[in-house]
């Protein structure tokens, strides 16, 4: 039978071995921190923003003929609307915060800086959408077709048809901007937007829309 030989480290060797183990541990931590920092930087760079929209998307918008669907900017906390909400009284509704107003302005500035032509701006009659549209683009008309569908799914089908009819009314060579709610835009396109985010779509025959890309000019 062979005996196992157990090597014993001398005190000096034990110190060096401990130092190497500590060094390797620190190197591992350093690599992990660098990877984490790199991931965070990539995430930061990858945040949706006007500066990172593709050149093709901006060129498409500059050529006109597109529809820009924009969700209203950040509001006071809550979901849907408070009990007793009235369209003719903004004080009964959830409204934009100061941050939301800043994001709305940034959205409009991004389009103007790139020479995107705008023919018409239409907003949901909810105050948060009207304010978003006016801060971003200076003016807006309202249409019930863009009203909030949250908690009103029974109205989804007729309202989608009304939005399709609104889009079909386009006559100018520029772009149509529709400012609405997340639930309403989702009902029309199947896509859910962040606050103050814009979805660019190309209208097709039969009310179809082809999604081209998103723009979020704000920096949360």
- Is a pLDDT exceeding 80 seen at residue 183? yes
Task: Assess whether 115 and 152 both reside in one domain.
Answer: yes
From the list 86, 51, 176, the residue with the least C-alpha distance to 122 is 176
How confident is the model at residue 29, as a pLDDT?
A: 54
Task: Please tell me whether residues 136 and 94 are part of one structural domain.
Answer: yes
In a domain, 220, yes or no: no
**Token reading at 17:** 């071995």
CATH number of the domain that residue 181 is part of = 3.40.50.1240
Residue 45 pLDDT > 60: no
Q: Which domain holds residue 79?
A: 50-215
pLDDT in tens, 125-175: 999 999 999 999 999 999 999 999 998 888 999 999 999 999 998 778 899
Give the predicted TM-score (pTM) of the model. Answer: 0.76
Same domain, residue pair 93 and 122: yes
Helices (H) and strands (E) in the chain, counts: 6, 6
* Contact yes or no for 162/187 (Cβ under 8 A): no
How far the first Cα of the chain sits from its last, in Å, is 72
171 occurs within a structural domain: yes
More confident residue, 211 or 9: 211
| Under 8 Å between Cβ of 68 and 197 | no
> Does residue 4 lie within any of the structural domains?
yes
Q: Are residues 139 and 191 in the same domain?
A: yes
Q: Is position 183 within any domain?
A: yes
Band (8; pLDDT cuts 50, 70, 90):
low
| Structural domain includes residue 143 | yes
The values of phi and psi at residue 96, to 5°, are -65, 145
Mean pLDDT of 2-24: 55
Our count of domains for the chain comes to: 2
């Amino acid at each position: 039978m062979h005996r196992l030989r157990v090597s014993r480290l001398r005190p000096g060797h034990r110190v060096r071995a401990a130092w190497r183990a500590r060094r390797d541990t620190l190197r591992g931590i350093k690599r992990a921190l660098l990877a984490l920092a790199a991931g965070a930087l990539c995430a930061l760079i990858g945040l949706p923003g006007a500066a990172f929209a593709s050149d093709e998307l901006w060129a498409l918008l500059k050529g006109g003929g597109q529809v820009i669907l924009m969700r209203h900017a950040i509001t006071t906390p809550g979901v849907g609307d408070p009990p007793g909400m009235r369209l003719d009284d903004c004080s009964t509704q959830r409204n934009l915060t100061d941050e939301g107003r800043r994001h709305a302005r940034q959205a409009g500035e991004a389009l103007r800086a790139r020479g995107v032509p705008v023919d018409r701006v239409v907003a949901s009659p909810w105050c948060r959408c009207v304010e978003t549209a006016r801060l971003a683009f200076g003016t807006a008309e309202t249409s019930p077709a863009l009203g909030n569908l949250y908690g009103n799914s029974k109205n989804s089908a007729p309202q989608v048809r009304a939005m399709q009819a609104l889009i079909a009314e386009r006559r100018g060579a520029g772009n149509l901007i529709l400012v609405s709610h997340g639930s309403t835009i989702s009902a029309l396109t199947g896509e859910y937007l962040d606050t103050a985010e814009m979805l660019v779509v190309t209208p097709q025959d039969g009310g179809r829309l082809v999604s081209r890309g998103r723009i979020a000019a704000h920096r949360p």
